Amino acid sequence: MDTIKFWAVFAIGVAAGAAVALIYAPQTGAKTREQLKRKLDDASDYMKDVGGELGNRAGEAVSRGREAVGEMADSAQKATHDAARRIVKFTS
């Protein structure tokens, strides 16, 4: 979660900095508004890309976690089965 918060705050900071720089730039209001709109569109696209990438990585992590849990459950079941088999042989 900390990584998501970091990138969200980073993107907001970049967008705010760009907006302030454009507002104080010596050019016409129409051109400034056009640049602001373009920068906001770029920031929006960037956030969508980052969000998609984070979602993909989270999905991969969940998948690896499920595989690891499945492998551990299989190992535990096999160990339990082997131990029970040794106990039965020992008591017979």
Give the pLDDT confidence of 15-68 residue by residue, as tens digits.
888 878 777 777 777 887 888 889 889 888 888 888 888 889 999 999 999 999
For residues 21 and 68, give the distance between their C-alpha atoms in angstroms, rounded to a whole number. Answer: 49
For residues 88 and 81, give the distance between their C-alpha atoms in angstroms, rounded to a whole number. Answer: 11
Length of the chain counted residue by residue: 92
Range of the domain at 21: 2-91
Alpha carbon of 91 to those of 77, 78, 81, 84, 87: distances in Å? Answer: 21, 20, 15, 11, 6
What is the identity of the amino acid at 75?
S
Residue 1: pLDDT band with limits 50, 70, 90 = low
For residues 53 and 6, give the distance between their C-alpha atoms in angstroms, rounded to a whole number. Answer: 15
Number of domains in the chain: 1
What is the identity of the amino acid at 81?
H
